[in-house]
Structure 1
C-alpha cells in the first residue's frame, strides 16, 4: 500500500511539474471555430499540446486582417490568417511569418442568386457585396476585380457578420456575398438551382489561403516550442484527414451551435483545399517558394505592400515532418 501511495504521489508531482512548466500559448483563429479548426481541438482534447509543454488557448477571430495584426504586434503568439492578408500586414510592420499552410488552394468565392440577373463577375458592377470589414475577400477584391475585367470601385461593400451572410442574401439586402468554399453545400441546400458561384480560381486567382502564422520575435526566442506546436498540429491534421469523426466530436464538445452534418460536409471540401503538389509530395502543410513569391508580387502590384520585404522570409517549412504528407485523394 505504501508503495502504491508513493507511486501515486510521484505521478501527481510529475503532472503538477509538467503543468507548472507548460508554456501559455494563444492561437487566434481567423473566424469562429468550424471544421477547418477541428484538428486543433482534437489535439488539445487528446492532450497532445500539453504533453509537449504547451498550454494552448484558442480564441475566435474577426477576420484574417485582425488576426495578422494581433499576431504581428505580439498580442497573440500564433494565429490563423489568409497568407496574402498576412503579407499586407507584414508590409505595414506586423512582425510575423507562416509556419504551416492549411489551405494550399484559395477557399475564397462569391455567391449570388441567379434570379437577381447576375450571371457572373462581370455583372457585379453596381451591386452590393456583403462581408465583414476584416474579410480577406474585401482586402483582395482589387485583384479579383482586375482579373474579372471590372472596375474595383464599381461595387458597394456592406458590413455583415459571417453568420449573417446567408440570411442577407436570402433577404436580398445584398446581391452577393463572399464566403469560403467550405460552406458550399449549405448554400446549395438553401438556394438550390438559383445559386450562382464564382470561385477566385475561375478568374485565375489561386493564392495561398489560411496558414498558421507566428510572431517572429516569439519564434526567434522559442524555436523548440514552435517546432513542437507545428509537429502536433501537422499530426492532428493528418489524423483528421484519415478519420474525421473523432475530430468532429472534439470540435462539437468545445463549440456550441454547430451542425454535425454541416461540419462533415465542410471537411470534405476542406480536404480538397488542403491538397496540391507540395502538400502531397513534400509535406502536409508545406509551402512552395515559387507560389509564395507569386502571391507576394500579386499583392504588391494590385493592392500594394507599404514596406517591401523578401517573400522568402514570409514562410518556413523547417518545422514540418516530410514523412507526413497529404493524401492524394
Structure 2
C-alpha cells in the first residue's frame, strides 16, 4: 500500500511538473506607463486568469500606443495593448511583419486636441496660424495629417512643435503652445494632476467628432504567435475578456490589481481614469450591439481608407489583415455591463 501511495505521489509530482513545463510565456507590452485603463490585463494576471489558460504573461510598461506595434514587430514582445491605426500603417508596407488585432477594446478614439479656454480657439479652423505641441510617434500626432485633410484645413499654416509627452500639459498651461495633440484619457488626468480643471478651463476637440470615425486601442499579437501557437492566443483573449467584464462591474477590485503591479500609482486618479475609459471610449451603442472585443467590418474598412488616404499609403490592407475575430469568445460571453462604483 505504501509503495502504491508513493508511486501515486511521484506520478502527481511528475504530472504537475509537466503542466508547469507546458506553460507558455507571452511577453506583453502596455500602451504606456501603468494606468487605470490597463485594469483588464493586470486583473487577469493578479487573479490567475492567465494561469488558468496555461499562460505566463509577462507585462511590461509601454512607450506609446503606436510604439506597441513596432515593439511587437521587433520580436521582443509577443503581444500588447496598442493602436489599431498603427497596425494599418504598417500592414500597408510590411504586411508579413505587422501584428494583428484580436480583441478591440476602445470602440471610440481618444485622439484629441486640447486648448485653454483663454486661447481664443473656438473652432478647428482657429488652429491655423497656431502652434500645436505633439509627441512624435504618438497616434494623435501621427494622425494629424488625416485630421487636417479630412476637415479641409491649411496644413501649412499649422505648426507642430515636437516635445516629450510629459511636457505637453505643462507647456499648454504656461502658454508656450496654443494647443496639444493628446490622448484625452491621458491628458485629462495629467491636467488634474497639475491642479487644473479639465472640464471648466479647457476645450477638447475629439477626432471622432470631426470625421475620423476610427477604432483605437485593443489587444494585438504577433503573426509569429498567431502561426505557432493559436491556442495561446485564444487563451490570452479569453483571460483578458474575463478580466475586462469583471473590471466593468467592480473598479475597486480592479484598482487593487493595478496597485499590486505598480504601487506608485495614484489610486483615486487611476480609478477615475478607468471609469473615464468605460464612459468615453468603451461603452457605445455599437459595443452593446456586437459585444465587447469585436468590430464592424464596414466601419473598419472606412477607417482603413481614411488612414491610407491621409498618409498617402501605397496599398490598402483589408479589414481581415488588420483584425481577426477567430479567437473571440462567443457573443454571449462578451456581454459587457458597466457599473460605476
TM-score normalized by the length of structure 1: 0.90
Change (3 A) 1:257 1:151: farther
Asked if the contact 1:73/1:215 (under 8 Å) is kept, the reply is no
Aligned to 2:239: 232
Pairwise CA RMSD? 2.5
Q: Which residue of 2 aligns with 1:190?
A: 196
Q: 1:138 aligns with which of 141, 146, 151?
A: 141
Task: Report whether the alignment pairs 1:270 with 2:277.
Answer: yes
Q: CA deviation at 1:178?
A: 2.3
Matched, 1:117 2:125: no
Q: Could you report, residue by residue, the CA deviation over 1:14-49 in whole angstroms, capped at 9, with x for unpaired residues?
A: 554433321111112221121111111111011111
Q: How does 1:134-173 map to 2 (within 5 A)?
A: 134-173=137-176
* Kept after mapping to 1: 8 A contact 2:249/2:338: no
Q: How does 1:34-53 map to 2 (within 5 A)?
A: 34-53=35-54
CA distance in 1, matches of 2:239, 2:258: 17
Deviations 1:286-328 (A, max 9, x none): 1111111011111111213343332222111122221122237
Whether the aligned pair in 2 keeps the contact of 1:283 and 1:320 (CA below 8 Å) is no
Corresponding residue number in structure 2 for 1:326: 336
Structure 1 residues 226 and 111: alpha-carbon distance in aligned structure 2, compared to 1, 3 A threshold: same
Provide the C-alpha distance between the structure 2 equivalents of 1:97 and 1:75, rounded to a whole number of angstroms.
16
Q: Mapping of 1:19-98 within 5 angstroms?
A: 19-93=20-94, 94-98=97-101
Equivalent residue of 2:196, what SS? Answer: helix
Unmatched runs of 5 consecutive residues or more in structure 2: none
Kindly state the Cα deviation for residue 256 of structure 1 after the two structures are TM-superposed: 4.1
Moved more, 216-225 or 118-127: 118-127
Per-residue CA deviations over 1:222-251 (Å, capped at 9, x if unaligned) read: 111100000001111010001111111111
- Counterpart-to-counterpart distance in 1, 2:48 and 2:8: 22
Cα distance, 1:8–1:260 mapped onto 2, change above 3 Å: farther
Q: Is 1:259 equivalent to 2:266 in the alignment?
A: yes
Q: TM-score, normalised by structure 2?
A: 0.87
Mean Cα displacement is larger for which, 174-183 or 51-60?
174-183
* Counterpart Cα distance in 1 of 2:100 and 2:228: 14
Q: Could you tell me which runs of 5 or more consecutive residues in structure 1 were left unpaired when the two chains were aligned.
A: none
Which one of 283, 291, 307 corresponds to residue 291 of structure 2? Answer: 283
CA contact (8 A) 2:308 2:315 kept: no
User: Matched residues in 1 for 2:247 and 2:47: separation?
Assistant: 13
Please give the alpha-carbon distance, in whole angstroms, between the structure 2 residues aligned to 1:297 and 1:148.
15
User: Secondary structure of 1:258's match?
Assistant: coil
